[in-house]
Each structure stands twice: as C-alpha cells, then as structure tokens.
Structure 1
Amino acid sequence: MSLIKAIKDFYKNPSDDKYIHILQILRNYTVSIPCTITFSQRDQKKWDLLSDNSMEGESFENEDEIIFKPDTLENEDGKFFPVFLSEEDMPKDYRNYFSLLEIDFLKVIEMNLENDLKGIVVNAFTNPIEIHKEAFEFICDCPNLTQEEDYIEYSLRMGSEAYLRKDFVQAKEYYEIAAHLFNAQAMSNLGYIYTYGRVGKPDKEMGLYYFEKAADKGNVTGIMKIGDAYRYGDIYPKNEQKAFNCYRKAFEIGYKDLMEYPDLWMRLGECYLYGIGTKIDLEQAIQQLNIAIYLFEQEENDIFYYPSLKQKAKEELKKAIEMKQL
C-alpha cells in the first residue's frame, strides 16, 4: 500500500494499526522540507548579480556554506516540524515562499531530535499526520527490525527483557514508546512501574492513570488493577463490590489466556475466601488459589516477584482449608 493511500485509509476509519502502518511506510520514504536559505554576504552578492541578469550565462556556485533553516508550524499542542510528500500537498502561496529540501525521513528524525519541538507533522495542510517524538525516536533507535515483529512488538520485548533483569529505567523508556503508539499492555506495564516505584518514589496516581488507559482498551491487567484500587481505597473510594466486579470483568475478558494471569486467580480466590464483594465460597476459594499457586510455580524462575506472590497464595489456601474444616 502506498503512503498516500495509507493516510487516506486512516482518515476514512482511524485505528491504531493504521497509524502504525503509516509510520512503517514513512520510515523508508523521502519527504520534502520547506526551508529558507541563507547565503554568506559574498554568496548573496553573487546570487543577486545572477538574479539581475548581470552575469547571464554563468551558473551559481557557492563559495561558503549555505544555511538551510526549516520551517516550523504551531498548533495548540506546540511546535511541529513540517514535511510533505509532494509539492502538491502544499498551498501555492506557502510553497512559493520556501525552497524545498528532499531528504530521507530518517534524516528528518535526526534533524528534529536536535530541536525543542513536539514532533513532525506530515502534510499539515491536507490530511495531517502528527508524529510525536516518542514515536520517531523509537524508529530511529531500532532500524534493523525483522519482518516478523513491528515497532510495538519490538518495544514490548525489549521493555520486558529490561524489566526482568531489573533495568527499570530502560524498561520504562521502551514501554513509553509502545504506549505512545496506543499499546494497552505497555500502558499497563507503565502502571506497574509507577505504582511500585521502580524508577523512583511510588506514584499511585500516575500508576492508576496508566492502568485506566489500559483498561479502556480492554487490558486484563489494567482492569484488575482498577479492582485493586477499589478494594484497598487507593485513589478511588473503597468499594469491595466494584473491586469484585472488576476482577470478574477481567476474568471474562481474558478467559482464553487465563493461564497468563495467576495473580487474577489469586485475587478471585481471596474474594471468595473473605467475602470481598461477594458471598464467602470456600470451595471456589480453594479452587482459585490452587490454580494460582500452580501458575506461579510455572513462571517463578523467570518473573522475580512471583515467588512472594506464590507464598501469599499458599497462606491464603491454608486459611481456606482450615475454615472449611471447621
């Protein structure tokens, strides 16, 4: 699909996948940058003579460096670096004011990184596509992606690897890139980083902000963590019924991949054990906690915080069995 067609398709029915597809095409595209040209005093004099036909038949060769100053455009979000796919994408009066510099998109990224701008805007006067710095910094940093993984998959994989080796600063950077590209899992992962203070003091408000964004996209962990906020009265007013409803909703949404969420099984087990938002049901509690323990054991050597959660689930299971025997 051509870039023009991809942009038109995005405007007909916008989606995250279509936006990412535009970025993927742009990465190998040549674009036009509107620039003003500044000559040295000596070169300006030569140019003026040529323009006045005083040196008819002679070609202009600059003796000093020519300075190209790209244009910037501004909206309510801030200043952007404009690039265009063709001259036809610029209004005539705008086009006539500038010289055009043809350049690879990746080179534009390098130019923009040196300036205090929000990002790049493609075809600002027709169907504008804004690309904020978080997105194209990532494109610049990982040029050798395989065909099997796109930018988001790469970012999540690198972020996960960094997180598991406890390099939380790098993990946060990768997750922020994927989150900016609308990925719910990355948003959820950022929620953990902020909530548990992986890169500084715990910030539950910022953590919940990211969990909410993830939950809005149907992310199981995001919904589960909103349940925690209601359960413990963190940020939200304490409401055990809403907490249980969140856990059930997360369970229903993620039922096909529930083997990946042992902590969700544990939470539901605790709800049935203590009557949190539902009636006490010791049979259900024992069943859910047993599954949680089994799942924690499968991954405890790879995920550093699973052993402590497994121990907690075992303690809860012991309580449930003791209460059932009374």
Structure 2
Amino acid sequence: MLAKYKYHLLLHFIIFLWGFTGILGKLISLEALYIVWYRVGIASFVIFLYLAYKKRVLRIPKSQFFKVSFVGFVVAAHWVTFYVSIQLSTASLGILCLSTTTLHVAWLEPIIMKKKFSWIEFLLGLVVVGGIYFVSGDFSTDEYWAVLAGGISAFLAAFFAVSNAKLVEEMPSTHISMYELAMGFVGLTIFMAMTDKLDPSMFVMTMSDFYWLLFLAIICTSFAFLVTIDIVKRLGAFTVSLSINLEPVYTIILAIFILKEHELLGSNFYIGSILIILVVIANGVIKNQQKKKTVRALH
C-alpha cells in the first residue's frame, strides 16, 4: 500500500514537472524554435545513453523507422507551436489551449484507430470551444494568434498520442521516444537550415537560459519520461492519463506565483479555465465508467 502511495506522489511530481515546462517558455529568453531544438537534441541523447547503459538493442525495422520519424516531426512541431503560444501571450493561456488535446483525440481515434465515434466526447469538445471563446473575449491580436498556435499544438499532441498508441504495440516505448526525439531534432535542423535560422545567435544565451534548458531537456523530458514508464506499469495507464489532466492546474498555479500572471489575466480567463478543466476531467471520468462497464460485460 505504501509503495502505491509512493508512486502516486511520484506521478504528481512528474505532472508538476510537465506543468513547469510551460513556465520555462517564459523563463528562457530564446525563441520557441531554438528552445525545442535544444530540448529534443539533449533529451534524445540522454535517453540514448540510458539505453546504451542498459545494453538495449537500438535497431528497429525500416518500416517502423519511417513511422517513428514522421511522428517525431509531429512532436517537434507540437512543442514549437506550444512555446510560440506561450511567448505570444501567457503560460496559462498556452497550457489551457493544450488541455484540449484529449478532446481532439475523441475524433482522431475513430479515423486512425478505427474506433467507434463518441457523441459524448464530441459534445464535451463543443463545451471546451465555448470555454475558449469565453476566455478569449477581451484578447489582443497577439493573444488570438496565441490561441491559434495553442490549438494547432493541441491537435498535433493528439495526433502524436493516437499514433503512439499504435506504435507501442510494435516496439518498446523507450526506443520509440528516443527515435522520435532524435528525428524531431533532425527535422528541426533541416527546417532551420532551409529558413536561414541556423546562425551563431542560437548559441548565444545567458547562464540562466543554459541551466533552464538542461533542466527542461534532462529532468522535465528524459527523466520524466523514463520514470513515467515505470509508473504506468505500477498504477495503470488510465490512472496516469486521468491524473495528467491536472497539468494545466499546476501550470496556472505556478504562473500565478512565479510569473505573476494573475495581474495580466481577468476573471473571465479563470472562469473559462475552470470550465475547460472540469470538462477535461469529466471526459476522463466518463471513460473510466465506460471501461468498468466493458470489464463487467467481459465477465
């Protein structure tokens, strides 16, 4: 029993770290593209070292390599748009838009995974759209662009999640992550070369930026991912996925205390935020009930 509580506490510590990644989008002075370039590059190298230390076989079939590479490009694009959203507005708004990811999954799963379409999830998605409209009532032009970038980020995150659900059936999740992060790094490097973004200025940063980048890549990405794999084995995938819905709550609380964002955001934002977060949690609870009914039916 004590071991189970230990893993629950560890899970919330990991979610807290993920919530902090949004804050880092404000604390690091580099532009979004460079933040993600460093993040995926360092994180993939750290996971590679871990797998080499564990003497795991790193080869994967060519057919899977191309699938993983494509998803890696999607992951990189997801993080870039996420940090663009934050840098155009606030960490609170960026993470709030990202919290709609699970609701994008509702309509992507029937297409990619051939699952039955859920009208309940579709209706919950409409409520979330209403919540975002309520939140964005008094926004500036930059904040509207931030919502657009955040919405794209949420869609890409959903596509990444659904695609990974298929990939984990074919190969170990540690290998998937290492290759996805590495190919995200390659994809970003090619994109930056094509758009003249590869220049010496990307290596100019403060010591604060340097330390925060290491923290983001090693602790919030590599460490968090490797620990989460063990947590999922101990607590189950549903418990983990439901708890992750608290990430926007942690980010908004951190943004209030660290970035003083409560001074920039009005009451409409927090009312809309509560509505969206409640819908996302309700979506998880409904799925839990459906899962229990399915288990009973099988028995």
Kindly indicate which of the two structures has a greater share of residues assigned to helix: 2
TM range (shorter): under 0.3
TM-score of the superposed pair, with normalisation by structure 1: 0.23
